[in-house]
A and B are shown apart, each in its own frame.
Chain A
């Protein structure tokens, strides 16, 4: 099981900011594909953080990870 976090427009699109994902996909890429399919959203320009560190698509996932989907940021 892993925890998914959705921010900004993503949270509004899927109607939840935090979701429990019942299984652990092998990689970030695999998770992104599953999430896109499940919610009908595009994660094309979205960055991913695993346990608060930016992660590439090929990064592996592990039980208990927190994965955040981070749209292009606009702070400042």
Chain B
């Protein structure tokens, strides 16, 4: 059985498993991005996070990011897994693996993938602090979507 390249899971993520999905003879590089749960943000202590997703659409949007990468960097192959549910400090929330013939494309595409995840993939995190909790919108609360739809970011 072939594992899907783009997945939402409620289980711990194996970095190696995600990496293996993009390894192939044509590749001379694999860039890995691992997003983890941070304890301190601007002096405020996080106890744990709760991630929620619109799972079916989130997996489609991750696949769309993979397709966008293929268009921009034709030699690149992408796999992304994002975890949901309760995550503790230090847990892995997301793993992005991009392989390509040469390293430059893999680095660039990996950065592109995480920025796009933060724009279009329907996943939300709820921060639990010592003195309360809140759903986090876009990280700086500065992005509005006047059209009701995220704009496609150009290079």
| Chain A residues proximal to chain B, CB less than 8 Å | 5, 7-9, 12, 28, 45-49, 52, 54-57, 68, 70-76
Report yes or no: B118 in contact with A75, Cβ–Cβ below 8 A.
yes
Report yes or no: B148 in contact with A68, Cβ–Cβ below 8 A.
no
How far in angstroms is the closest Cβ of chain A from B89? 16
When distances are taken between beta carbons in the complex, the residues of chain A under 8 Å from B143 are: 72
Per the 8 Å Cβ criterion, residues 114-134 of B in contact with A are 114, 117-126
Known: A54-B150, A57-B148. A75 touches B54 (CB 8 A): no
Please report the C-alpha to C-alpha distance between residue A24 and residue B53 in the assembled complex, in whole angstroms.
26
Which bracket fits the contact residues of B?
35 or more
| Chain B residues proximal to chain A, CB less than 8 Å | 35, 51-54, 56-58, 60, 82, 93-94, 114, 117-126, 135-139, 141, 143-145, 147-150
Q: How would you classify the secondary structure of chain B's contact residues: helix, strand, loop or mixed?
A: mixed
Known: A72-B138, A73-B118, A74-B139. A47 touches B124 (CB 8 A): no
Q: Which residue of A lies closest to B122 (CB)?
A: A70
Please report the C-alpha to C-alpha distance between residue A41 and residue B137 in the assembled complex, in whole angstroms.
16
Please report the C-alpha to C-alpha distance between residue A52 and residue B137 in the assembled complex, in whole angstroms.
20
- Among B57, B123, B145, contact of A52 (Cβ-Cβ < 8 Å): B57
Report yes or no: A76 in contact with B60, Cβ–Cβ below 8 A.
no
Contacts beyond the supplied A8-B124, A49-B54, A74-B135: 19 A-B pairs with Cβ under 8 Å: A7-B124, A47-B150, A52-B56, A56-B149, A57-B148, A71-B124, A71-B137, A72-B137, A73-B121, A73-B122, A73-B123, A73-B124, A74-B137, A74-B138, A75-B51, A75-B58, A75-B82, A75-B123, A75-B125
